Amino acid sequence: MGMSLQQIVFGVLSIISIISALGVILSKNPVTSVLCLIVTFFTIAGHYIMLNAQFLAVVHIIVYAGAIMVLFLFVIMLMNLNAEIEPQKRSWLKYAGAISGGALLLVLLAALREASVSSLQPGAVEIGLISNLGKTLFSTYVLPFEVSSILFLSAMVGAVVIGKKEGHES
């Protein structure tokens, strides 16, 4: 076999991520979709570790699997959507969606097949370590870091504006 251990791990992780990603869009039960998405997120974290992005792998698990998907599960259970209540979409619309997504896939794959990019070296690089990322974030990227606070303020205001019941609401 001409495959290195790295390639075998990559292959297994990729197959699991693609199958579980398909599970997200094909499953009829929203709770199954959420669980499939969590599996996809874990495989992506595995890819991050293989790519020497250790800090991102940890943050990814904490933010996506830990916070975002739990919120999704809460909302789904709050609405009692765990039953298969989604009526079937008119089938031609469904096929149109699948065909246009597939067309995009084919176009991108065909275009990027010839892209001249180098190979990844097996050796470890230091860039993904927390001390290096911290230095970069607070030196070169300090302005976007501050600017993102505007985004959070508006999300915070938005949660209040949208979530709060108003007196005259029916």
Partner 1 sequence: MNALISTALAGVVMMFAGLFIRNKQHIKFVAIAALLIVSVANLAELSTIEGGSRTVLGMVTVSHFSILFNAIAFGATLIYFLLSGSAFEKVGEHVADYFALVFFILSGITLASSFSNLLMLFLAIEIISIPQYILAGSNKRTPKSSEASLKYFLMGSFSTGILLMGITLIYGAAGTFNIEELGLGNGDINPLALCGIILLAFALSFKVSAAPFHFWTPDVYDGSPTVFTSFMATVVKAGSFIAFIRIFHGAFTGTNISAHWQLLLSLVTAATLLIGNFTAVFQQSVKRMLAYSSIAQAGFMLFAVISMNKYATQGIILYAAAYSVATIGVFAVTMKLKDYTFDGFNGLARTQPVLAVTTAIFVCSLAGIPLTAGFFAKYFVLTAAVQQGNLLWLVVLAVLCAAISAYYYFRVIIAMYFKQGEPATKEEITGGFKVMLVITAAIVILLGVFPGLLLNLI
Partner 2 sequence: MPVQYYIFLSIVLFCIGVMGVLMRRNAIIIFMCVELMLNAVNLLMVAFSKMWADAGRVDAAGAQIFVFFIMVVAAAEVAVGLAIIVMVYRKSQSVDINIMNRLKN
Of 21, 17, 13, nearest to 50 by C-alpha is 13
Q: Is 114 in the site for partner 1 (CB under 8 A)?
A: yes
Question: Cβ atoms within 10 A of the Cβ of 30, count?
Answer: 21
Q: Which does 168 bind (CB under 5 to 8 A by kind): partner 1, partner 2, none?
A: partner 1
Q: Which does 5 bind (CB under 5 to 8 A by kind): partner 1, partner 2, none?
A: none
The rounded distance, in Å, linking the Cα atoms of 84 and 144 is: 43
CB of 124 to partner 2, least distance (A): 10
Q: Which does 55 bind (CB under 5 to 8 A by kind): partner 1, partner 2, none?
A: partner 2
Q: Is 128 exposed, middle or buried (0-12, 13-18, 19+ CB in 10 A)?
A: middle
What part of residues 100-119 is at the interface with partner 2 (CB under 8 A)?
Answer: 100-102, 104-105, 108-109, 112-113, 115, 117-119
The rounded distance, in Å, linking the Cα atoms of 62 and 37 is: 14
Q: Is 83 in the site for partner 2 (CB under 8 A)?
A: no
Q: Is 40 exposed, middle or buried (0-12, 13-18, 19+ CB in 10 A)?
A: buried
What part of residues 137-156 is at the interface with partner 2 (CB under 8 A)?
Answer: 137, 140-141, 144, 148, 151-152, 155
| C-beta closer to partner 1: residue 12 or 63 | 63
The rounded distance, in Å, linking the Cα atoms of 63 and 60 is: 5
Q: Is 79 in the site for partner 2 (CB under 8 A)?
A: yes
Q: At what angle do helices 30-50 and 69-78 cross, to 10 degrees?
A: 180
- Give me the residues that bind partner 1 (CB under 8 A), please: 108, 111-112, 114-117, 140-144, 147-151, 153-155, 157-158, 160-162, 164-170
